[in-house]
Amino acid sequence: MSRIRVTAIVQARMGSSRLPGKVLHDVGGRTMLARVCGRAARATLVDELVVATTAEVGDDAIAAACLELGVPCFRGDEHDVLERYRAAAEAYGADAVVRITADCPLIDAELIDDVILAMLRHGPDYAANVLCRTYPRGLDVEIATRAALERAAREATEPYQRVHVMPYFYQHPERFRLRSVTGAADFSGHRWTVDSPEDLELVRNIYRRLDGDDAFSWRDVLQLFEREPALAALNRNVRQKHFVEG
């Protein structure tokens, strides 16, 4: 198992059609961005954590939040997020890049490490736990080698491929070696990402019930849902946008 330098890049911006400024909304006494960074930093195989936001004035607030958190902040293209990732990977000397989004405050360090291990052990260009979903939405982890990321940045032409960073990989299995990471059971029906006020209310309730501590695991959240099945009703009617919608 060869060791490579792994940089986790959290993409964040203030703009959101359904919940503007969501990444700096409060979740249990800390911003959502702080929750994501704190939980991702627990992954033992991540060498560096970076927040990648835009160069727009509206995202100065994210840069300021990163300064307060002590997390490096890279600023790049607003719409071409794939290029933002490529440039951040180059700036921070990454051999491989983990993609995490700042609207997933339940992201789990163990799952981040699982996906990184899949790359270290099997040597794919891209590994993820989203190719065949078994984990709740909001625990998405994707990793790509820097070389593969640079190739995708050169070749991807569809706007949604550039906005969502990674689709070009799994849309072209003939060009990239892919590795899927799955769990023992299917919990993909759960929605733990934050796109709407209903989603935000759900994660706030989860943190309230789990004492506002970042140390809980995704399994603890599952157990909470087993004890309180009514929680799932809070965001049951939220529709997940397909990535081609932007």
pLDDT of residue 239: 63
The pLDDT tens digits for 66-83 are 999 999 999 999 999 999
Q: Are strands 96-101 and 30-31 parallel, antiparallel or unpaired?
A: unpaired
pLDDT of residue 214: 85
pLDDT of residue 187: 97
Name all domains of the chain by residue range, CATH numbers in brackets. Answer: 6-245 (3.90.550.10)
pTM value surpassing 0.85: yes
The pLDDT tens digits for 93-140 are 999 999 999 999 999 999 999 999 999 999 999 999 999 999 999 999
Q: Express as a percent the part of the chain with pLDDT over 90.
A: 89
Question: Predicted confidence band at 2 (pLDDT cuts at 50, 70, 90)?
Answer: low
Mean pLDDT (the chain, rounded): 94
pLDDT at 245 over 60: no
Between the alpha carbon of residue 36 and those of residues 10, 79, 122, 173, 201, the distances in Å are 8, 22, 27, 30, 16
pLDDT at 240 over 60: no
pLDDT of residue 149: 98
pLDDT of residue 246: 45
pLDDT of residue 242: 54
Between the alpha carbon of residue 111 and those of residues 123, 139, 173, the distances in Å are 18, 8, 23
Average pLDDT over residues 183-211: 95
Q: What would the DSSP string read from start to end of the chain?
A: -----EEEEEE--S--SSSTTGGGSEETTEEHHHHHHHHHTT-TT-SEEEEEEESSGGGHHHHHHHHHHT--EEEE-SS-HHHHHHHHHHHTT-SEEEEEETT-TT--HHHHHHHHHHHHHH--SEEESTTTT-SPBT---EEEEHHHHHHHHHH--SHHHHHSSSHHHHT-TTTS-EEE---SS--TT-B-S-SSHHHHHHHHHHHHHTTT-TT--HHHHHHHHHH-GGGGGGGTTPPPPPGGG-
Q: Taking a C-beta distance cutoff of 8 angstroms, is the pair 78, 56 a contact?
A: yes
